[in-house]
Chain A
Amino acid sequence: MNTHDVNLRLNQQQLELLDRTVEEQGSSGRGDLIVRALNEYYEEHFQTPAT
């Protein structure tokens, strides 16, 4: 499986929220939580219903 790096720019306040959520959600890390967000957001807003 190929992986792709996306280089995010975040400031210390955004990282504060990210790190707190990583902890509260028991995620394995920042990247893990961001990937979860991408998948859940996509599935909620853009997934075409299965036919």
Chain B
Amino acid sequence: MERELVFETVMEPGTGKGVELRRGQVLRIEQVEGGQCADFNLFNLHDYKEHFHTARTRHMHGLMPSTGALLWSAPPRDRPIAALVTDTLGSNDILYGRCSAFLYDYQYGLPVHTNCHDIQAEAQREFGLTPDDVHDSFNFFMNTGIDPSGNPFIAPNLARRGDYVEILALIDVLAVANVCGADVMATSNFELKPLRIAIYESLPGELESQESRPEAAAHVTQRDPSTFRVKQIKADRELTRDKSYVPAFTNVPIQRQELDVQLSDAEIARLDHLIETGQLGSTRAEVLRYVFFSWWIEKFMQGPKHFDREAAKA
């Protein structure tokens, strides 16, 4: 079954385009020639302060999200606002920041150069946003990795003509895609090429299948401005201290208590062996606490566990 086409256009090199997507609509970003990175921003159409957050998305889906990943908004909203429902290539990045005029100036001596930040800002201007509103991008078709010493790198772009990603909106959004302006970095194989974007209606059941995922269940911790102590968006640039401010941090004061745990000879031997590994702490109390919470995470925690299980082996 084919999706019904609502809108399509081609983004030429050096450009980007913001489009309104209604909940349940799908945005396709498609290679026209191949080898082209697309940077992407995503805002709640009815409250631009809620927008896509690379860091939460990394936490939930890793550095290279592909089909099945959700696009999360920043805390405290912290909810899936879109889903990556199709990815014909499976080579995306949410580690690198968008390229900007500064990078081409500083690294190449090219102060006037196509760059994702300025292209995004210009596209977003159609909806009244300012250059400060551009956020960390989802970099579709950008092929990256981490070398053994922990440094990220950019590898050749693997996208072929016709490769595409499809993003299903879970709320009404402003989606802004752009042709990455990097032609002197490896991002798009040193050439700027057009990208097609198209809006489709989703197929029956597609939205429901995303909304019924466990990660999509609503939590009271996903907060909107109705719960903010300051509800108005600050409209001036100067920062001044509120003299009536009274701190209201959660669960403060944090109070540490002592808890005696009784261990047998055999158990204390195990604990001492764990101390000898040198990985979990240097005292019996530190290691026992580390072990308890590690065990809890492995056994009960929902979502990605963020443990290097190999490193935990002695």
Contact = CB atoms under 8 A, between A and B. Distances in A.
Contact of A11 (B255, B273, B291, B298): B255
Nearest to B262: A3
B265 A1 contact: yes
B67 interface: no
Interface stretch (B117-125, B173-181, B282-290): B282-290
Contacts of A38: 263, 267, 270-271, 288, 291-292, 295
Contact of A37 (B262, B291, B314): B291
B250 to A, nearest CB: 9
B264 interface: yes
Interface string B243-262: 00000000100111111111
Contacts of A10: 256-257, 259, 289
A9 B296 contact: no
A20 to B, nearest CB: 10
B260 A7 contact: yes
B277 to A, nearest CB: 8
Interface residues on B, range: 35 or more
Interface in A1-51: 1-15, 17-18, 21, 30-31, 33-35, 37-42, 44-46
Contacts of B229: none
A31 B296 contact: no
A6 B265 contact: no
Contacts of B270: 38-39, 42, 46
Given A17-B296, A35-B261, A39-B267, 11 more contacts: A1-B265, A6-B261, A8-B260, A9-B258, A21-B300, A31-B260, A31-B262, A38-B267, A41-B298, A42-B273, A42-B291
Q: Which of A8, A13, A21, A30 has the most CB of B within 10 A?
A: A8
B288 A40 contact: no
B285 A6 contact: yes
Contact of B259 (A8, A13, A37): A8
B287 to A, nearest CB: 9
B258 A6 contact: no
Contacts of B300: 21
